[in-house]
Chain A
Amino acid sequence: MDASNYLYISALLFTIGAVGVVVRRNAIVVFMCIELMLNAANLSFVTFSRINGNLDGQVMAFFTMVVAACEVVVGLAIIVAIYRSRRSASVDDASLLKR
């Protein structure tokens, strides 16, 4: 199978993720969309690794997973903390950065 198809899927997944981040309000969904984008990038890395015939891309994918895992830990903790204090997981409610 042509390797470029994997890249198309990767792009599609990334777009879905990006749109999801922009349009959805629920923090959990936004979070999952970010994960989606990260994994789209992982898919690209693995594909490129395959095309180039070396392991660089796969190594990079492992790094991405580690970062994603850390991010989930920190991010979920923040979301839970905000939910606890505001009884809402909507990202638009927490616009404190403005001030």
Chain B
Amino acid sequence: MSISTSLVYLIGLPFAGAAILLLGGRRTDKWGHLLATALSASSFAVGVYHLFQMVNRPVEMRPTSQKLFEWISVGSFNVDAGLLLDQLSICFVLLITGVGTLIHIYSIAYMSEDRDRRRFFAYLNLFIAAMLLLVLGDSYLSLYVGWEGVGLASYLLIGFWNQKPAYATASKKAFVMNRVGDMGLSLAIMIAFATMGTVSFAGVAEQVDNTSEAALTAMGIMLLVAAAGKSAQFPLQAWLGDAMAGPTPVSALIHAATMVTAGVYLITRSNFVFDAAPTAQLLVVIVGAITLIFGALIGTAKDDIKKALAASTMSQIGYMILATGLGPIGYAFAIMHLITHGFFKAGMFLGAGSVMHGMNDEVNMRKYGALRHFMPITFITFGIGYLAILGVPPFAGFYSKDMIIESAFNSGGMQAIFLGSLTLIGAAITAFYMTRVMILTFAGTKRWDEGVEPHESPWLMWFPMAVLAVGSVTSGYLLYHDKALYKWLSPLFEDHGEHEELLKPIVVSALALTMVAIGVSIAVYKYMRENIETVAPENVSWLTKFVRKDLMQDQFNEKFFMRPGQLLTKALVTTEDVVVDGSVRGVARMAIGSGSGLRGLQNGFVRSYAALILVGALTLIAAIWVVVS
């Protein structure tokens, strides 16, 4: 472990950008976007500097830490605001700042017509800062600050055009569902403190051996809940589709490359907890497996290009979560897929944004078609991303996805065959819906609305796409070659030696490619025709309808959480009014009632007063008489 004093700049630069742009207001409109981009780029430069520093140090000295100040200290609860840059976080730092900077550049052109562009860049910088804090925090509590910080940035960016009520609702939905996950994270932190007396990563890792498995399982499950919320995993996945309401660069950065992968980071970072809690680990695998199929299925029925890509993101993160659930053999591959996915999915989202830019913000793929002639650069970059996600050699996805499928097959026991098959089926479905996206968008005939004149986007937009496309081609091989990433990360994980190989790598690759071929063929057969309907056909099987409704995820949440919640709220409001406040008012009314009842006696007639006095006196005499005798 070495000490650094410059880690804080990684976070500080973009944070300063956000603060300047938000507090500066309209005064900074003219140059705000340039400042934000420059700060993001300089943060990237700091990251690269640290990478070189790190590579040049011996393995055990590679992690770097910086203590900023004492944050919270009460009794035995001591948390410092500290940063930790190790082999795992540097991957994220470079991905976040690198892809982040490209997307800043892209957004300069993409958002140039928007009168609130400065605010957009402020939010982007805020996001970068929060995300860096998330991956650099050296304790669960510092991570938590970044964790909710990215949630806030995501909320602001999804709702960037919140004058449209549906978009505002989408942002709220995302934040609230994320908060459910956050609740899991805060409970995990509480469990850690109550059982281990510490909340720092190093401290928890140290105490794992002395902690009961029950506590670790509880903590692991809570971390999984947190990961599910942030990474849109089952059962907290429903917000991601709606999150596409945000501007497309946001979808590329936050909802494809970085923020939604925070769950993978969290589980990988907590590997010591999960390795000691097999039940929790199994749940991670199950959640990943369900989501990878779930997302892929949703992707098959989406006509909105961004939502199709969002479903694909969900599914791909399902792969990563599954890999992390496999334990030490999976962590490195989860991170590898995360990085390659960051390249190709961000590239495809930017491509989608470029298409929308050229098509008057149309998102319905049924109204695209034949765009390869009009947007050649977009077509090529998008196509590279497409080949990468399919896992065609030698594109990036081939290396990373195959490794996950391979690990699934090699995870041992009966579950291995089951998981392996699931990942293969997922690959086939992925091939199907991605091919469908490609065909509907770039091939076939023109199905545009009138007045649409598609054109290639300006260089500020295609340049980042091109860079990402290069990454989509090369990153896989670079990380895979000589087990580079695996070796880089392995000091962090406890590997239990060699694993039995159920299938040889070459067999897995062959199987995977076969499945991809099947998926592609079905899509080509179904969609490579002249007469694609511009409105989705209604006479389809119940299965299609079911998938089109996102497998009823919203209906389920509405029926089992939202409506009962609303009912409960209404019931409580009524209770408050009738029972709690009612009893108070009842007492008041009783006082008023008895007063007004007695008021009748005050009728103003002297004689009735006299009579009352008489009655009173007689009663008194009678009472005395009774008592005395």
Please give the residue numbers on chain A whose beta carbons come within 8 Å of chain B beta carbons, in ascending order. Answer: 18, 21-25, 30, 91-92, 94-99
Contact B605 A95 (CB under 8 A): yes
Q: Does B627 lie at the interface of the complex (its beta carbon under 8 Å from any beta carbon of A)? A: no
Residue of B nearest to A27 (CB): B606
Q: Does B604 lie at the interface of the complex (its beta carbon under 8 Å from any beta carbon of A)? A: yes
- A-B pairs with beta carbons under 8 Å apart, 30 shown: A18-B610, A18-B614, A21-B607, A21-B610, A22-B610, A22-B614, A23-B607, A24-B607, A25-B607, A30-B606, A30-B607, A91-B605, A91-B606, A91-B607, A92-B605, A92-B606, A92-B607, A94-B606, A95-B603, A95-B604, A95-B605, A95-B606, A96-B604, A97-B602, A97-B604, A97-B606, A98-B602, A98-B603, A98-B604, A99-B604
Q: Does B507 lie at the interface of the complex (its beta carbon under 8 Å from any beta carbon of A)? A: no
Map CB proximity to A onto B587-621 as digits: 1 under 8 Å, 0 otherwise: 00000000000000011111100110010000000
Q: How many angstroms between the C-alpha atoms of A22 and B607 in the bound complex?
A: 5
B39 to chain A, nearest CB (A): 79
The interface residues of chain A lying within 8 Å CB-to-CB of B606 are: 30, 91-92, 94-95, 97
A7 to chain B, nearest CB (A): 14
The interface residues of chain A lying within 8 Å CB-to-CB of B604 are: 95-99
How many pairs of A and B residues are in contact by the CB < 8 Å rule?
33
Residue of B nearest to A21 (CB): B610
A24 to chain B, nearest CB (A): 8
A53 to chain B, nearest CB (A): 24
Q: How many angstroms between the C-alpha atoms of A68 and B604 in the bound complex?
A: 24
Residue of A nearest to B617 (CB): A18
The interface residues of chain A lying within 8 Å CB-to-CB of B605 are: 91-92, 95
Q: How many angstroms between the C-alpha atoms of A93 and B602 in the bound complex?
A: 15
Q: How many angstroms between the C-alpha atoms of A92 and B606 in the bound complex?
A: 7
A26 to chain B, nearest CB (A): 11
The interface residues of chain A lying within 8 Å CB-to-CB of B607 are: 21-25, 30, 91-92
The interface residues of chain B lying within 8 Å CB-to-CB of A92 are: 605-607
Residue of A nearest to B618 (CB): A18
Q: How many angstroms between the C-alpha atoms of A97 and B606 in the bound complex?
A: 9
Q: How many angstroms between the C-alpha atoms of A99 and B604 in the bound complex?
A: 8
Q: How many angstroms between the C-alpha atoms of A22 and B608 in the bound complex?
A: 7
B66 to chain A, nearest CB (A): 82
B138 to chain A, nearest CB (A): 80
Residue of A nearest to B608 (CB): A22
A50 to chain B, nearest CB (A): 23
The interface residues of chain A lying within 8 Å CB-to-CB of B611 are: 22
A81 to chain B, nearest CB (A): 15
Q: How many angstroms between the C-alpha atoms of A94 and B605 in the bound complex?
A: 7
Map CB proximity to A onto B547-564 as digits: 1 under 8 Å, 0 otherwise: 000000000000000000
The interface residues of chain B lying within 8 Å CB-to-CB of A97 are: 602, 604, 606
The interface residues of chain B lying within 8 Å CB-to-CB of A94 are: 606
Residue of A nearest to B603 (CB): A98
Residue of B nearest to A98 (CB): B604
Pick the most buried of B602, B603, B610, B614: most chain A CB atoms within 10 A of its CB: B610
6 extra A-B contacts, CB within 8 A, seeds A23-B607, A92-B606: A21-B610, A24-B607, A92-B605, A94-B606, A95-B604, A97-B602
Q: How many angstroms between the C-alpha atoms of A22 and B616 in the bound complex?
A: 14
The interface residues of chain B lying within 8 Å CB-to-CB of A30 are: 606-607
Residue of B nearest to A92 (CB): B605
Pick the most buried of A22, A25, A92, A96: most chain B CB atoms within 10 A of its CB: A22
B216 to chain A, nearest CB (A): 80
B129 to chain A, nearest CB (A): 74
The interface residues of chain B lying within 8 Å CB-to-CB of A96 are: 604
